[in-house]
Structure 1
Amino acid sequence: MNKNILLLTTLLLTFLTVTKTIAQSTADQLRISEIDKSYWTEISRTVKEGDFEGYKATCHENAVLVTTSGKNKQSYPMTKALAGWKQGFLNTKQGKQLDNVQFRFSQRIGDATTAHETGIFYFTSHDSTGKLISEGYTHLEALLVKRDGKWLCLMEYQKAKASKEEWEALK
């Protein structure tokens, strides 16, 4: 009898663990799909179209940019970063340059209202004749929050330059 109780208890605990794992996996998949469609796709669109206001709208009002990918290690308000990037958006909108950004991820953690995304972004910029101006792969971490049904960047951390091989490994 004790063996049967032990077996039933073990089966019940296993069932509950598997059920919780499946539910969590489904929730993760739904969150990731939602973030891909409403956040990362929007970032790519705004960069490609030169939609500065659209890009700005993806950032929380208190968002922070951290960068250690260049010579200097810096952290500052995203509003300062946006001011520095604005001309590139305007040039793109006016057809003076063609910009593109793509994202691939190695880790995606979160719940219904928070997300921590780790991966690489690939940015290219061409002049109006199609000549490459700049290109680069960069390791990225992003902290997102969902406010009023919309995912917003709270922190973007551009960590270090990445290689094409690292990018390809994330397919």
Structure 2
Amino acid sequence: MSLGTKIAWDDTVLPFQLDVSDMRGRVARLDGVLDGILKQHDYPEKVEALVAEMALLTALIGQTVSLRWKLSLQVQSKGPVRMIATDYYAPQQEGEPARIRAYASFDRDRLTDGAPFDQVGEGYFAIMIDQGEGTQPYQGITPLAGGSISACAEAYFAQSEQLPTRFSLSFGKSTEPGVGEHWRAGG
């Protein structure tokens, strides 16, 4: 893959529609944006994985909303990872990129050897949409369930929006010859 082709796909969300199947969706890839978010913090790898999953979901969902200002996703839990919060800021002008930020709060001493989602205990998954000054913010909440943050997002869409939604995500550290280890995500 040429450098130009690689750059064209980095940090991208592409919509698609399959008319015959009555299906639409998004394909996303986060590279530099995700790596930049995670490099700002000193998270253990399991917490990084949860933040990566949440940031990818935020990009996929944020791009689908006709948004004037901000979409936020949030996980609140009683587990070792107490909170994960992400924000998607809509582009200011046509053709400009959206912005994403993410943060996690956790108790390092309570982290276990289990899978990343095992670090999240009982709690809730929330989606908040704020269209800016003069509007009433929207908030939808569902319990944490299903074994992943993407399963929680699917449950939210099934319960709150009555919209069949599926996420297929992949995220982790990538290594390439001549390039240091870095985070990537796609869905």
Q: Tell me the TM-score normalised to structure 2 length.
A: 0.31
| Bigger radius of gyration among the two | 1
More helix by share: 1
Q: Tell me the TM-score normalised to structure 1 length.
A: 0.33
More strand by share: 1
